[in-house]
Copies of this chain bind each other. A is one copy, B any other.
Amino acid sequence: MARGDRHAAGGPRGVTRETDPAARVPDSRIHGDLAVVGAAEAATRIPDDATMLVSGFGSVGYPKAVPKALADAAAVGGDDEGEDAGRDLSLSVVSGGSVGEEIDEALVEADAIDRRYPFQAREAINAAINDGRVAFADRHISSLGDDVRFGGMVETDGSVAVVEAVAVGPDWLIPSTSVGLTDAFVEAADSLIVEVNHDQPLSLAAFHDVYRTGTPPEREPIPLTSPDERIGGPRIEFEPEKLAAVVETTGRDAPYEFRDPTDVDLEIADRLGDFLEREVERSSLYDDSMRIQFGVGSLGNALMGALGDADLGDRDLIYYGEVLQDGLLDLLDTGELRSASATSLALSTEGQERLFEDAERYAEDVVIRTGNVSNGPALIDRFGVVAVNSAVEVDLYGHVNSTNLGGSRMISGVGGSGDFTRNAPLSVVALGSTAAGGDISKIVPKASHVDHTEHDVDVVITEHGVADLRGTSPRERAEALVECAHPDYREDLRAYLDRAGEGGGHEPVDLDTAFDWTDRA
């Protein structure tokens, strides 16, 4: 059924929409009698050793001008110590997800960042983390807002939230291309600097649904009853006295670049589709619809795109995930996807154009939420989401490494992968069986770092097979996972299992050779 048809038919949607999308869009950018300052001036209002809580998720919707001005201020005079010395910054930078070069490159090169949480995806910050120059800790997205609000993670005294917005008023702002954890940051921060970006369309407001959870122990359940429902509005509210500066900016987010799907991607997508076809027949959880999440990246994007080919009967397909990628726009356009819930719009240039040109129409079916709702453990459970995430490596017992190459070299962070893998009633890990052109097996004897345990991973899919691990013992899992490995590695994996088996135990391991394959470089 085509998308327009379904709307016209007024089929069962179980949703109450508060308003027309257009009603959520303000008519101008700066409301009330707010003084605007330059980015350089705003940057002076951030203490040298501040905790800087920045908007941004999926490398979009982050502040650009003020971080750049901070980097410039730090760089003035280079390493001079005299009057010409730049500012000696030692910032703790917290974002919801990944951000752009103005933060994770310019500020890093200016040696301005001491601490960075909880996710990053740029070479400069990554190198600094792996060199030990920047102290980094990755955290689950769903709980990051609480980590910041209720303390223990960062010092919030003297902290400054720096937020990109499409519009601002005396006590509210409307975020741009991502909502992420910005609401929690604005609440936790002592002061607030808003970048109003004239190149981000005002119509982005139509997508946003901001919801602030209460404080335990009186915290209420998040009142969302359906993946496409709205429970808030586009505005993040704040105490007016927090507003330290408003800056006007221009410049779009750097677009995502997706590679074309490889043969391996397509084979994995086929196997996933076949598996899901069987699963909807087996389980009552999918009688009317399938709610699904895909991890961020080219494989995830390819899997989304291919999902339209699976024969899921007349079930509605609903995305309940973290990031809206191009593959989902395609499915929305064809009507194969009923709705999408995420916290960020991580699109290619073409995807951005498509979405921005027709924002109010897409906003009928796309909700951009706060990260504790997009990734909410209780919601993933209640909606019965099928989680599909990729990984660095999976071991023979189903433990998954999502973060650290060789056990030690951080890639990006655990992000939302744990939120979905842990709380979904069906958790799939989908990955190519090899890396480095076949030189590295991603099915390994023992994961060199564990982000998701055997207790949380239900199914592993590679281009060579589907291992359904549910209800299996570790020894059974190992047999199934060997069949998912590239044929070149199966004999060695079996030899490992033989050695491990000599020691016996519920989950046989040979600790002396478990990491023989792991790259030490």
Provide a sorted-by-A list of 11 A–B residue pairs whose CB atoms are within 8 angstroms.
A136-B506, A139-B455, A140-B455, A151-B282, A152-B283, A216-B384, A217-B383, A378-B381, A406-B509, A418-B453, A511-B515
Q: With A217-B384, A451-B455 as given contacts, are A503 and B475 in contact (CB-CB < 8 Å)?
A: no
Q: State which residues 190-245 of A face B: CB under 8 Å.
A: 215-223, 225-227
In the complex the two chains form, is B475's CB within 8 Å of A135's CB?
Answer: yes
A34 at the interface (CB under 8 A from B): no
Which A residues fall within an 8 A CB radius of B? 115, 117, 129-132, 135-140, 143, 146-147, 150-154, 215-223, 225-227, 282-285, 288-289, 291, 377-378, 381-384, 399, 404, 406-410, 414, 418, 422-423, 425-426, 446, 448-456, 458, 468, 470-476, 500, 503-509, 511-512, 514-515, 518, 520
Query: Which chain B residues border A476 with CB–CB below 8 Å?
Result: 135
Copies of this chain, complex-wide, total 2
Q: How far is the CA of A43 from the CA of B7 in the complex (A)?
A: 56
Query: Which chain B residues border A139 with CB–CB below 8 Å?
Result: 455
Question: A305 to nearest B CB, angstroms?
Answer: 24
Q: With A138-B455, A284-B150, A425-B150 as given contacts, are A216 and B381 in contact (CB-CB < 8 Å)?
A: yes
In the complex the two chains form, is B472's CB within 8 Å of A285's CB?
Answer: no
Q: With A137-B472, A150-B283, A471-B117 as given contacts, are A216 and B425 in contact (CB-CB < 8 Å)?
A: yes
Q: With A151-B282, A453-B453 as given contacts, are A383 and B507 in contact (CB-CB < 8 Å)?
A: no
Q: Which of B153, B219, B377, B509 contacts A408 (CB 8 A)?
A: B509
In the complex the two chains form, is B117's CB within 8 Å of A505's CB?
Answer: no
Q: How far is the CA of A283 from the CA of B146 in the complex (A)?
A: 12
In the complex the two chains form, is B221's CB within 8 Å of A226's CB?
Answer: no
The interface residues of chain A, by DSSP majority, are classed as loop
Q: Which of B220, B223, B423, B452 contacts A382 (CB 8 A)?
A: B220
Q: Which of B216, B291, B448, B474 contacts A383 (CB 8 A)?
A: B216
Q: Which of B225, B449, B474, B505 contacts A507 (CB 8 A)?
A: B449
Question: A471 to nearest B CB, angstroms?
Answer: 4
In the complex the two chains form, is A511's CB within 8 Å of B507's CB?
Answer: no
In the complex the two chains form, is B506's CB within 8 Å of A130's CB?
Answer: yes
Query: Which chain B residues border A382 with CB–CB below 8 Å?
Result: 216-217, 219-221
Query: Which chain B residues border A216 with CB–CB below 8 Å?
Result: 285, 291, 381-384, 425
Question: A452 to nearest B CB, angstroms?
Answer: 8
In the complex the two chains form, is B455's CB within 8 Å of A130's CB?
Answer: no
Q: How far is the CA of A382 from the CA of B185 in the complex (A)?
A: 19
Query: Which chain B residues border A129 with CB–CB below 8 Å?
Result: 506
Q: With A283-B150, A471-B154 as given contacts, are A404 and B506 in contact (CB-CB < 8 Å)?
A: yes
Name which of A423, A476, A509 has the most chain B CB atoms within 10 A of its CB: A509
Q: How far is the CA of A135 from the CA of B475 in the complex (A)?
A: 8
Q: Which of B219, B381, B451, B473 contacts A453 (CB 8 A)?
A: B451
